[in-house]
Chain A
Amino acid sequence: SQKIEQNSEALNIQEGKTATLTCNYTNYSPAYLQWYRQDPGRGPVFLLLIRENEKEKRKERLKVTFDTTLKQSLFHITASQPADSATYLCAGILTGGGNKLTFGTGTQLKVEL
């Protein structure tokens, strides 16, 4: 079956390091993937959208890559700060899914001083 999967284990990194989060997709080829940030007790906030023909997309300290060979998208935060601590969700449209976004379960990132 088609899936969008993220590492459910929390990622702890030190302030100033680059955080890398992974989103894998199986049994389908998304035309694009979206990344969202969710803070505790709040709704997700859209960060970036990357299309399958875009290898990389950047926004300030954020960078997203899309590797159709590995069937994955990587989300990087450079020079991470404690304020970057949150859960990051990737989302895409499954084949036959119409316009329905399917979200991964998210990866919790904790940036420590």
Chain B
Amino acid sequence: DTAVSQTPKYLVTQMGNDKSIKCEQNLGHDTMYWYKQDSKKFLKIMFSYNNKELIINETVPNRFSPKSPDKAHLNLHINSLELGDSAVYFCASSQGAESTDTQYFGPGTRLTVL
């Protein structure tokens, strides 16, 4: 009965590869997010979707492409991986898109680029 789940939990890959991280929420929420947490534990938003529409798109390299096939899923595809992409990526969801709506985070995906 996991609320927000991500796969895989760990991802180790070589520079230049393309990889995807999947996220699913079973809370019935309308809004989903991707965050990046770097080695200094700084958590920064990357993208947000509300009802499958992109509503937040931070200054992120266009190698990162989110896709929301439906309200319950938000996947993150990364092309041409670079060393600096190594981080923990968190998916989150909230009932609505208001900033006061509580966000529920997934367990994270630790990406290591070699």
Q: Which residues of A contact B55 (CB under 8 A)?
A: 99
Interface centre among B42, B90, B97, B103 (most CB of A within 10 A): B103
Whether A46 contacts B58 by the Cβ 8 Å rule is no
B interface, over-half SS: loop
A42 contacts B108, C-beta separation under 8 Å: yes
Q: Does B77 contact A (CB under 8 A)?
A: no
A98-B56, A99-B98 known; A106 vs B41 contact (CB < 8 Å): yes
Q: A41-B108, A98-B56, A100-B56 are known contacts. Are A46 and B102 too (CB-CB below 8 A)? A: yes
Contact present for B44 and A103 (CB under 8 Å): yes
CA distance A46 to B55 in the complex (A): 22
A81 CB within 8 Å of chain B: no
Chain A residues numbered 4-60 whose CB sits less than 8 Å from any CB in chain B:
32, 41-46, 49
CA distance A103 to B40 in the complex (A): 13
In the complex, which of the residues A43, A44, A89, A105 contacts B40, with contact meaning CB atoms closer than 8 Å? A105
Chain A: interface size category = 10 to 19
For window 49-103 of A, CB contacts with B under 8 Å fall at 49, 87, 89, 93, 98-103
**In the complex, what residues of A have CB within 8 A of residue B45's CB?**
100-102
- Given known A49-B100, A99-B56, A100-B58, contact A44–B43 (CB-CB < 8 A): yes
Residues of B within 8 A of A (CB): 4, 40-45, 48, 55-56, 58, 90, 92, 97-100, 102-108
